[in-house]
Structure formats: C-alpha cells, structure tokens
Amino acid sequence: MNDSEFIAALQQGESAAYQQLLSETQDWVFNTLLGIVQDAAVAEDLAQEVYIQVFRSIGTFRGDAKLSTWMYRIAVTKALGWERKQKGFHRWKNWFAGNEKTAGTDFHHPGVQAEQKELAAILFKAIQSLPEQQRIAWILIKTEGLSYADTAEIMETTVKAIEALQHRAKANLRKYLQSYDSKQ
C-alpha cells in the first residue's frame, strides 16, 4: 500500500490502517514527547492525546506535508502546550511556597545506557534550558535524527532558520556545560 492509499484507509476509518499507524509511529512519537517534557508518564499521556487528535483530524489531512511531519507537528504542539501550562502552575506554586523552581537531574531517557545516565541527565537539563525554538530544533535533529529539511517543515520555517537555531543551540549548550563544569 502506498502513502496515498494508506492515508485514504485511515480517512475511511479502517482499523488495520490505524493499527499499522500506531505500530509504526508509537516509538518516535513517545520519544519526541519524552525529549521535550522529560517525564515518561506525561509523555505517555500526551502520546494518547496525539493519537486522539490524529484520529479525529485525519479526515482533514490534505497531504500538503508528509503524514509523519503532520504528526510531529501535533506532538510538538501538545508537548509545548503541556509545558506552558506547567510553567504557569509551577510559577504560582513556587511563589506561594516562597521558593524557586529547581530542575532535578533525575531524568532518564530509554536510549541512554546505564553508565551514562548521570552525564545524560546533565545534558538533558542543559537542553531543557535552551529557548523553545532552539530546543525543539535540537531535539528533532539530534535526538530524533530528522533532517534539517524535515525539521524546517515540522517547525514551519526555512532550512536556513533551522541551521541558525542549531548553531545558537550548540553555542548555548556549550556555555551551559562549561558553566556547569566550572562549578564542579
């Protein structure tokens, strides 16, 4: 079955097509969400929301972009929406408690080997400190292995803009990690 036939099967509500979509995409959807929200339980919940939106909206999918690009957009949007809600919640919670939010280094990504978990936690904390657009571009390219062109399409910008985001993200990560290293 080619892509257009697969999309047509999804739009017609064929359960075999939905099963195929789920089996082919669930790992990268989850990993993309996990890379952004850095909480496995939240990533699982958001993945369910992504698939609910995909299943509800597939009828309006026009095929202007690849199906995977469309799904990445949905996943990134869901994750960023969750983060924005959390930032507002934590800001008020910490204000009332009279303390500052401190990020922990207990995050674990499934692709990281046990002996590298401490270093990975530091790196993920550094990535989390990046401005939103740099962070999303970095995660899609470096963690998910997407091309600059695919990332540009997902983020609805140009390849040149993605290159600039990657360059700035790399510089910011270098500063963060050098700062962290000097504190040790």
Number of neighbouring beta carbons within 10 Å of residue 8: 14
Helices 40-57 and 15-37, axial angle in degrees (round to 10): 140
Residue 104 pLDDT class (50, 70, 90 cuts): very low
Which has the closest alpha carbon to 83: 131, 118, 123, 117?
Answer: 131
Q: Which two tokens stand for residue 48?
A: 């369910």
pLDDT at 100: 39
All CATH 1.10.1740.10 domain ranges in the chain, comma separated: 1-102
The more confidently predicted of residues 88 and 67 is: 67
CATH 1.10.10.10 segments of the chain: 105-184
Q: What is the CATH number of domain 105-184?
A: 1.10.10.10
> By the 8 A CB rule, do 4 and 21 touch?
no
The 10 Å Cβ neighbour count of residue 183 is: 6
Q: Where are the alpha helices (DSSP H) in 39-116?
A: 40-57, 67-97
E strands present in the chain: none
Q: From residue 101, how far is each of 93, 97, 175 by CA, in Å?
A: 9, 10, 21
The token pair that represents 54 in the structure block: 């995909």
CA 145 to chain centre: 12
Q: Which two tokens stand for residue 37?
A: 């929200």
118, pLDDT greater than 90: no
pTM of structure: 0.76
pLDDT digits (tens, 9 = 90+) for 12-32: 999 999 999 999 999 999 999
DSSP 156: T
In tens, the pLDDT along 137-175 reads 999 999 899 999 999 999 999 999 999 999 999 999 999
The mean pLDDT value for 64-82 works out to 94
pLDDT at 122 over 70: yes
The CATH architecture that domain 1-102 belongs to is Orthogonal Bundle (1.10)
Residue listed under structure tokens 């047509």: 8
Quick one: pLDDT at residue 92?
44
Q: Where do we find the tokens 């360059």?
A: 167
